[in-house]
Amino acid sequence: MQFTGFVSALGIALALTGCGPSEETSGQGGSGGQVTTTGGSGGSGGTAGGAPIVDPALFDCTASKPPVRTNSIPTACATDPTCTTKLVSGHRAAGGELGVIAPEDTVAAVNAAVVLGIDFVETDPRPTKDGVLINLHDPTVDRTTFGTGEAAQMTLAEIQALELKTSEYAGDFSCARIPTFEEVLTAAKGKVHVLVDANKTDQVALLVEAIQKTDTLEWAIFDTDSVEKIDQALALEPALLTMIRVADLNELNTELAHFAAHPPVIVEVHDGADGGALTPAIHDANNRALVDVFVTDVGAGLSDDPSLYDEAWAPGFDMLQTDRPDLVLRNLGRWPPAPQP
């Protein structure tokens, strides 16, 4: 998914929030792994110099073991169009450019999402020069690493030799690298569902092969604007779970008719589309609607006010995709995360 209009969003959020001070609350998990939770919006874990939002030792380079799923929402809800529970998707796993928990699109970010107890992680697979799918949002490595260059012109070894830029996050992420897509699927398997953004490559066969190879057909959801790519993917793997993206009622009706024999499990409503018109139609088709909330993330983060997401839910959306999953979880009353055993 693309994050656009950041400057405009920031300006709007500043005007709405006035950059006022926020109150903080803290808590601790039970007898298992400690889960430290706070409000706030600044750097180093998002608390303006205070304690991190969640204990990074549960998912950073010092973690002694991978986290386990503690999310109380039944796993089947993520792929069941009849489930009415509101769900949360972490953009680029635990947050993209507005994220404050872990470096985007990394295995550490997937593990952080598991610790948080969110329902989906969004991914950005794209191929390297030597034909390996990696998880990287941008076409270049410049923004997220200390290297430069287009990922498509670099080998996997060259890419994974690059150190990530992680100083803005609380915790030790010195060992983190741009992962392969298979590494991401493996980390998520059995713990959190994966939205596979297929817009960054035309190599549909590689995407399907990775899902099959990692045995994650029940955990991966093939997600794209392209009807043709979904057709190609389903031809290769008829059991594949899918998500379509629509901008208006005509596109919704056309795509639902096209995929009548294999309905999507989620429908994403494009930014700027009329959610008030689309969500009832999506529900009438026995499906669920997801929307990106990055502009709201800015305002909610600056003001430490999770209630700002109420307006995002208002048109009837069933899932919000966010750079601040911690704040959306607070909005839903799903905070603090359950302790790790």
Q: Summarize pLDDT for 20-48 with one digit per residue, the tens.
A: 333 333 333 333 455 545 444 433 454 44
- Closest Cα partner for 96 from 199, 198, 4, 193? 4
Average pLDDT over residues 241-257: 98
- What pLDDT shows up at residue 39? 44
- pLDDT for 278-312, tens place per residue? 999 999 999 999 999 999 999 999 999 999 999 99
Q: Is residue 339 part of a domain?
A: no
Share the mean pLDDT of the chain. 90
In the chain, the percentage of residues whose pLDDT exceeds 70 is 85
Question: Strand ranges (DSSP E) for 63-187?
Answer: 87-90, 120-123, 125-127, 133-135
Residue 255 has pLDDT above 50, yes or no: yes
Lowest mean pLDDT of 22-36, 90-104, 200-214, 282-296, name the range. Answer: 22-36
Confirm if 256 and 286 have CB atoms less than 8 A apart.
no
- The CA-based angle 274-76-316, given to 5 degrees, is 20
Confirm if 53 and 34 have CB atoms less than 8 A apart.
no
- Closest Cα partner for 273 from 260, 282, 284? 282
Confirm if 257 and 278 have CB atoms less than 8 A apart.
no
In which band, very low, low, confident or very high, does the pLDDT at 1 lie, cut at 50, 70 and 90? low
Helix axes 249-258, 275-284, angle to 10 degrees: 20
- What pLDDT shows up at residue 35? 56
Q: Is residue 229 part of a domain?
A: yes
- What pLDDT shows up at residue 88? 99
Average pLDDT over residues 82-93: 98
Q: Which residue has the higher pLDDT, 330 or 15?
A: 330
Question: Looking at the DSSP assignment, which residues form a beta bridge with residue 121?
Answer: 90, 194
Helices (H) and strands (E) in the chain, counts: 11, 10
The Cα–Cα gap between 268 and 287 comes to 11
Residues in the chain, total: 341
Q: Is residue 340 part of a domain?
A: no
Task: Give whichever of 5-14, 33-42, 49-58 has the largest mean pLDDT.
Answer: 49-58
Give the three-state DSSP class for 233: helix
- CATH code at position 209: 3.20.20.190
Question: Looking at the DSSP assignment, which residues form a beta bridge with residue 127?
Answer: 133
What residues contact residue 93 under an 8 Å CB cut-off, 6+ apart?
102, 104, 105, 106, 109, 110, 112, 113, 121, 122, 123, 184
Average pLDDT over residues 184-189: 98
CA gyration radius, the chain = 19
- What pLDDT shows up at residue 58? 98
What residues contact residue 261 under an 8 Å CB cut-off, 6+ apart?
none
Q: Is residue 88 part of a domain?
A: yes
- What pLDDT shows up at residue 51? 86
Instruction: Kindly report the backbone phi and psi dihedral angles of residue 186, in degrees, each rounded to the nearest multiple of 5, phi listed first.
Output: -65, -40
- The parent domain of residue 78 ranges over 6-331
Q: Is residue 295 part of a domain?
A: yes
Q: Which residue has the higher pLDDT, 13 or 88?
A: 88
Token couple for 89:
């998707």
The Cα–Cα gap between 64 and 46 comes to 24
Q: Is residue 336 part of a domain?
A: no
Give the number of domains in the chain. 1
Q: Is residue 341 part of a domain?
A: no
The Cα–Cα gap between 317 and 279 comes to 6
Confirm if 81 and 287 have CB atoms less than 8 A apart.
yes
Instruction: Kindly report the backbone phi and psi dihedral angles of residue 75, in degrees, each rounded to the nearest multiple of 5, phi listed first.
Output: -60, -30
- pLDDT for 310-334, tens place per residue? 999 999 999 999 999 999 999 999 9
In which band, very low, low, confident or very high, does the pLDDT at 200 lie, cut at 50, 70 and 90? very high
Average pLDDT over residues 155-175: 98
The Cα–Cα gap between 207 and 215 comes to 12
Whether the bond into 52 is cis, omega within 30 of 0: no
Residue 50 has pLDDT above 90, yes or no: no
Q: Is residue 338 part of a domain?
A: no
